[in-house]
Amino acid sequence: MKTMLRYAATHLAQRRMVRALIAMLMVPFVFAGCASLGVKSAYLDATEVGTTFPTTVPANTQIYTKVAGIAFSLDVLAGVYMTNNTTIQSSVNAGFPYGTVYASGQSYVDFVDWTKSGGNCGSIGDANQVSGVTNGTSGVGAYGGGTSMSYNWTGSEHGRKTYTFTASQAVAKAKVRIYGYNSSQGVSATSCSIDTFTIRPASFTVSSTPASGSTQAAGSNYTMTVTAVNNSGATTTAYTGTPSLTTTGMTDWKAVVIAGGSFTGSFGAAVSGVASGNSFNYTDFGPLTIPAGAIKDSTYVSGSGSGDVAGGDCVVGSSSNAAVAGLYGCNIANTASATTPSFIAHHYTATHTITPACNSKFTYFGQPLTYAVTIDAFNALGNRMTRLTSSAPNKPTFTFSQLNSGAATINPLTIAAPTWASDLTYGTASGGEYALSATSVSSTRPAGLSPVSASPPSYESFVVRVTSSDANITTCNGVAAAGTTSCDSAATKLRYGVLKLSDGQATAVSPASMQLTAQYWNGSAFVTNTDDVCTAINFNTGTIASSALPRPTAKNASTTLSNGVGAVMLSSTVTSNVAIRLGGSDNNCVTATSGVGVPLNAVSSYLGSTSCSASYDKDPSARMTFGTLRSPYIYRAEKF
């Protein structure tokens, strides 16, 4: 905006002198023949509202640091330099010899970017004008807003007029430009404020790629962006500073300050108000909170050349947008906290331990085996993510599947969910681990099978597979793996087993021998399970059932199968059907059952027999014959 100053005399005798004085006030250089008035040239300036009008040269007017988007007021001053070169006089100062003469005429005021000015206010073009400035004074517009918005001084202002402005853009080094024109005298003047000042952005907003709420591999670089905005949230495109980040107050999901050096990265200089850096990196589990004030620029005002910091025109070390005694903070900062992406593992190692029930070779369906799994989380640098513990939010998940020869199965194992390391291990070398300790895992023996209804399953290559939800598993069971999110256990054998009891014969002088054979389904038939060297069967009175009394008794208390075969030796004086109880109760077709005895067998959940039933879940039974064979024998040699 430009200011026009005109002095009109109220006394006719002073008119000629006033005309000469107007020329002095309107044009910033001395006209010949005016020295007798004691006037050297016009004095136009701007200062903070209420500042005492200066009386000495140089003027000591002051304009404080301003905040883009926050309205502020300035006083425009009209006076004269006196010929003594040491005094500035104004119509508002006592002792001014023409106290009834006041500034009047059209005026405009605007702001100029002094870095483009060349230091000569009179030659500043409108290309130097700061855009986006509005004037809140009624009827007054910023210069360039149109002549219809000019303000016409009436003289009642007594050489001092308050204007209220709002600047939407940041300016590192600005001055107030004042233009005035007196059409009746045909004179004009352009002057700039003595003091330069900075209009700084109100704050920084923070964003990132990936965005907050998305995931980012820990230990890998990502981009964080800072935008300088005015008080209304609009980007201040003229900002070209370089923000910096202080990590000491950053906290993780547990609201604990992160470890020193675990978060790194820096911003480059802003372009059109936006500064970014693509080297930001956090090494542990997130998300993180960047507190208000952690991102700041403490050099934009101090390095602008405006002199605001040295002149005490802002509060050093502060980024406050709430003025105290008219002063705002010298710094720019994020006024609201920000959240980083959620940092997750870059990769995992997974280790299965699966121990078959018998001889490290196989497990019967329905028989428990031992299973364990350990998964450790690492960042891209190969370091354990020690802050990933049981209470962490949005923890990665793992799914478990059961396969046979690569195909889906009926999931015969009931595997408990592993658990993340306790919060007691947070920040220690034991954090970042998802584990199920070695435990007895039950398996399910399919029910309702029979030779006529459905064949039993045959799982000769059974594995447990773990699959990550978010990152590759780079080591599986101690072996390097590339580009995979899954890890399989070592293959084991699950077999559908039955126990066969063969017929036997006893005599008056010898016990009956009855053979027990463990069999499994090989996909087409039941065959002897030669790998079974583990199954033990008890033969006390509580485990033997007979269809006739007296019940037979066993000569051997038990048998442990060898290559899938064992035997029981019974003493009996009657022919009967005999069954071996596999569990705690009778489950056979023998009519006369045994009494209670100990120890009982506990293999009925994974071994059974067809016996007198069409299913595979009965106690095995067979025919024991008592007596001596009586028929003639012919002995002869056989030739081959």
If residue 47 lies in a helix (H) or strand (E), which one and from where to where? strand 39-48
CB 206 within 8 A of CB 224: yes
Nearest Cα residue to 576 out of 622, 510, 509, 517: 622
Question: Locate tokens 């206010």: which residue?
Answer: 121
CB 418 within 8 A of CB 373: yes
C-alpha span between 228 and 224 (Å, rounded): 14
Q: Is 180 left (phi over 0), alpha (psi -120 to 50) or beta?
A: beta
Question: Which residues, in sequence order, are CB contacts of 208 under 8 Å at separation 6+?
Answer: 222, 223, 224, 225, 280, 340, 341
Residue 522 confidence class, pLDDT cut points 50, 70, 90: very high
Which of 13-22, 25-34, 202-211, 346-355 has the lowest average pLDDT? 25-34
Please tell me whether the peptide bond between 412 and the residue prior to it is cis, using omega within 30 degrees of 0: no
Using the predicted structure, report yes or no on whether residue 627 has a pLDDT greater than 80: no
C-alpha span between 29 and 525 (Å, rounded): 119
CB 403 within 8 A of CB 457: no
Using the predicted structure, report yes or no on whether residue 134 has a pLDDT greater than 90: no
The phi and psi torsions of 424 (rounded to 5 degrees) equal: -65, -20
Strand ranges (DSSP E) for 328-450?
332-333, 338-339, 342-344, 347-355, 362-364, 369-378, 398-404, 407-408, 419-420, 433-441
Residue 229 confidence class, pLDDT cut points 50, 70, 90: very high
Question: For 495-520, what is the mean pLDDT?
Answer: 90
Which residues pair with residue 338 across a beta bridge? 290
Q: How far is CA 591 from CA 268, 327, 486, 609, 612, in A?
A: 92, 104, 54, 17, 12
Other CB atoms within a 10 A radius of the CB of residue 599 amount to: 11
CA atoms within 13 A on the CB side of 442: 7
* Stated pTM of the model: 0.80
Per-residue pLDDT, 163: 86
CB 253 within 8 A of CB 282: no
Per-residue pLDDT, 40: 67
C-alpha span between 1 and 134 (Å, rounded): 10
Q: What is the pLDDT of residues 146-179, one digit of tens each?
A: 333 356 677 777 778 888 889 999 999 999 988 7
Using the predicted structure, report yes or no on whether residue 125 has a pLDDT greater than 90: no
CATH top-level class of 345-495: mainly beta
C-alpha span between 333 and 297 (Å, rounded): 6
Q: What is the pLDDT of residues 533-585, one digit of tens each?
A: 999 999 987 899 888 888 888 999 999 999 999 999 988 778 889 999 999 88
Question: Could you give the 3-state DSSP secondary structure of residue 306?
Answer: coil
Residue 183 confidence class, pLDDT cut points 50, 70, 90: low
Residue 9 confidence class, pLDDT cut points 50, 70, 90: very low
Cα 426 to chain center, whole Å? 18
In the predicted model, what is the mean pLDDT of the chain? 84
The phi and psi torsions of 303 (rounded to 5 degrees) equal: -100, 10
DSSP state of 251: B
Q: What is the pLDDT of residues 287-300, one digit of tens each?
A: 999 999 999 999 99
Using the predicted structure, report yes or no on whether residue 84 has a pLDDT greater than 90: no
If residue 25 lies in a helix (H) or strand (E), which one and from where to where? helix 15-26
If residue 38 lies in a helix (H) or strand (E), which one and from where to where? none
The phi and psi torsions of 321 (rounded to 5 degrees) equal: -100, 10
Per-residue pLDDT, 588: 86
Relative to beta strand 39-48, strand 263-264 is: unpaired
Using the predicted structure, report yes or no on whether residue 122 has a pLDDT greater than 70: no
Nearest Cα residue to 347 out of 484, 214, 472: 472
Q: How far is CA 95 from CA 68, 99, 214, 244, in A?
A: 40, 8, 71, 53
Using the predicted structure, report yes or no on whether residue 192 has a pLDDT greater than 80: yes
Per-residue pLDDT, 116: 76
CB 273 within 8 A of CB 171: no
Per-residue pLDDT, 111: 87
Using the predicted structure, report yes or no on whether residue 44 has a pLDDT greater than 90: no
What's the CA dihedral at 81, 87, 91, 96 to 10 degrees?
A: -120
